[in-house]
């Protein structure tokens, strides 16, 4: 992606965005939506947001916000489902009819929005942001995995288009029977996430001097993130470099157990904005062991901060990390190789580490959220022009997993 920005799309007067997650929640979906909303509004499109009520969201923080009842998922308090009857959405959209509807999540709120939009014959685009099709096995629901995959396929095939963040995933979903899959990449705020944010004071608070490698993870502390692999790699690194540190930024259902088992790790909780940027830039290596990503925005944030990334070879890492240049890429079926890559990268000679850090930053400097948001607007405008209502409610053929 270059710095060249697309021209504004054909004018869209009003767009409704429906999502079960949004700021101030800290996750890739919420971050992506915030940038897409800002981009549409910059192009003078009115954006209505239909999201669950969140107690941490200040009143008046967002304009044109329509909160619905939000219920936390048991065992995963930071994730909320939105509950609203389709009829209420129909009433809203009859009185304030949008040109298009974007449904970012496939939960109860997304289900209601899809049905309301279908009844009103509104052009609808959906986003495949989260690998719910892989989550079941991490929460003792493996037997339901096939049913979840079939539901997701039917859900997305009832919309005019389905947006995914990278080409490999688009190809995989198409093979499963998803129709009209289109790729919409991701950007990164290269002004906020920058090597200049590095903080000696922060590192001193971790007990790390310039010689001690600081390893960083940013994301949910949850089973699907494969964090045990990162901890195992850290223990190997510690054996050679006892002064090494592992910093975990984020929260989630595994935090309490991880803290109990590994009290020497640094648990920073959720960090945002400039504070988060300091954490990235003050680390030496970004460990990302997850195998359940649709993309992984944190990968771009680490690279923009000049921090090499150790990741499995898929999603954002496959596209933006150059092996042995700005980090390490490892085959998805090779956890042992991932640990070896992390250990070797943590012990690089200073001059090699500096080359990797410069390459990490250089590889993403041209990425732009403005470009992504502008392309999003073009996709919505194309969906409006091509909308004929035939995708919803028809026979859907989805392959078994």
Give pLDDT tens digits for 327-361.
999 999 999 999 999 999 999 999 999 999 999 99
CA distances from 298 to 96, 249, 311, 359 (A): 36, 11, 11, 17
Helices (H), 129-191: 132-135, 145-157, 167-176
Inform me whether the pLDDT recorded for 394 exceeds 60. Answer: no
Check: CB of residue 176 under 8 Å from CB of residue 367.
no
Q: Which domains does the chain have, with CATH numbers?
A: 14-187+369-386 (3.40.50.2000), 195-362 (3.40.50.2000)
Determine how β-strand 65-73 pairs with β-strand 76-83: antiparallel
- For the entire predicted model, the pTM comes to 0.90
| pLDDT at residue 57 in the model | 73
Given a cut of 70, whether residue 139 has pLDDT beyond it is no
Model confidence at 148: pLDDT above 90: no
Short-list 189, 224, 190, CA closest to 76: 224
Angstrom distances, CA of residue 34 to CA of 31, 232, 270, 359: 5, 35, 17, 28
Q: How confident is the model at residue 161 (pLDDT cuts 50, 70, 90)?
A: very high
Per the model's pLDDT, the better-predicted residue between 255 and 54 turns out to be 255
Q: Which residues pair with 284 in a beta bridge?
A: none
Show the beta-strand stretches assigned E in 275-347: 285-288, 309-312, 327-330
Of the listed ranges 70-74, 216-220, 299-303, 389-393, the one predicted with least confidence: 389-393
User: Taking 50 as the threshold, does the pLDDT of residue 363 lie above it?
Assistant: yes
Q: How far is CA 86 from CA 53, 100, 111, 154, in A?
A: 17, 16, 8, 18
* Alpha-carbon distances, residue 363 vs 5, 302, 305 (angstroms): 18, 11, 11
CA distances from 8 to 16, 42, 141 (A): 18, 10, 44
Cα–Cα dist 255/235, whole Å: 18
| 76-127 per-position pLDDT tens digit | 565 667 878 899 999 999 999 999 999 999 999 999 999 999 999 999 999 9
Distances (CA, A) of 89 to 48, 159, 380: 12, 17, 20
Structure tokens at 242: 């006892």
Q: Give CB contacts under 8 A, 24+ apart, made by 2-9.
A: 2/366, 2/371, 3/366, 3/368, 3/371, 4/371, 5/368, 5/370, 5/371, 5/374, 6/371, 6/374, 6/375, 6/378, 7/374, 8/43, 8/374, 8/377, 9/43, 9/374, 9/377, 9/378, 9/380, 9/381
Question: Which class for 177: exposed (0-12), middle (13-18), buried (19 or more C-beta within 10 A)?
Answer: middle
User: Residue 133: what pLDDT?
Assistant: 57
3-class DSSP assignment, residue 62: coil
* Mean pLDDT score of the chain: 90
Beta strand 285-288 with 245-249 is unpaired
Q: Which one is predicted more confidently, 59 or 351?
A: 351
**What does the pLDDT read at residue 140?**
53
Of 331, 336, 337, give the one whose Cα is nearest residue 312: 331
């Amino acid at each position: 992606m270059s710095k060249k920005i697309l021209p504004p799309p054909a004018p869209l007067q009003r767009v409704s965005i429906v999502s079960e997650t949004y700021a101030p929640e800290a996750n890739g979906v919420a971050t992506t939506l915030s940038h897409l909303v800002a981009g549409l509004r910059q192009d003078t499109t009115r954006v209505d947001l239909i999201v669950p009520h969140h107690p941490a969201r200040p009143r008046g923080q967002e304009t044109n916000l329509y909160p619905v009842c939000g219920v936390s998922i048991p065992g995963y308090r930071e994730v909320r489902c939105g509950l609203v009857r389709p009829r209420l959405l129909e009433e809203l959209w009859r009185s304030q009819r949008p040109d298009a509807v974007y449904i970012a999540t496939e939960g109860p709120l997304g289900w209601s929005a899809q049905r309301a939009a279908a009844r009103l014959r509104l052009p609808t685009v959906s986003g495949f942001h989260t690998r719910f099709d892989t989550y079941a096995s991490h929460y003792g629901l493996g037997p339901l995995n096939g049913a979840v995959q079939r539901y997701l396929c039917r859900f997305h095939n009832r919309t005019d288009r389905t947006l995914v963040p990278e080409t490999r995933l688009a190809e995989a979903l198409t093979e499963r029977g998803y129709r009209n899959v289109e790729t919409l990449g991701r950007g990164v705020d290269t002004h906020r996430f920058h090597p200049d944010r590095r903080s000696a004071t922060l590192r001193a608070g971790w007990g790390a001097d310039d010689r001690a490698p600081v390893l960083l993870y940013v994301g949910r502390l949850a089973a699907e993130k494969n964090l045990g692999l990162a901890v195992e790699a850290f223990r190997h690194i510690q054996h050679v470099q006892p002064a090494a540190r592992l910093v975990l930024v984020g929260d989630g259902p595994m935090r309490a157990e991880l803290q109990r088992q590994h009290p020497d790790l640094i648990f920073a909780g959720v960090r945002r904005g400039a504070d988060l940027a300091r954490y990235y830039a003050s680390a030496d290596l970004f460990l990302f062991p997850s195998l359940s990503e649709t993309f992984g925005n944190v990968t771009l944030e680490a690279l923009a901060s000049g921090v090499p990334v150790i990741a499995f070879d898929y999603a954002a890492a496959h596209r933006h990390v150059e092996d042995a240049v700005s980090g390490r890429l490892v085959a998805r079926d090779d956890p042992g190789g991932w640990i070896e890559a992390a250990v070797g990268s943590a012990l690089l000679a200073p001059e090699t580490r500096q080359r990797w850090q410069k390459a990490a930053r250089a590889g993403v400097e041209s990425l732009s959220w403005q470009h992504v948001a502008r392309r999003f607007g073009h996709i919505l405008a194309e969906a409006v022009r091509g909308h004929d209502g035939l995708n919803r409610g028809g026979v859907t053929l989805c392959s078994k997993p």
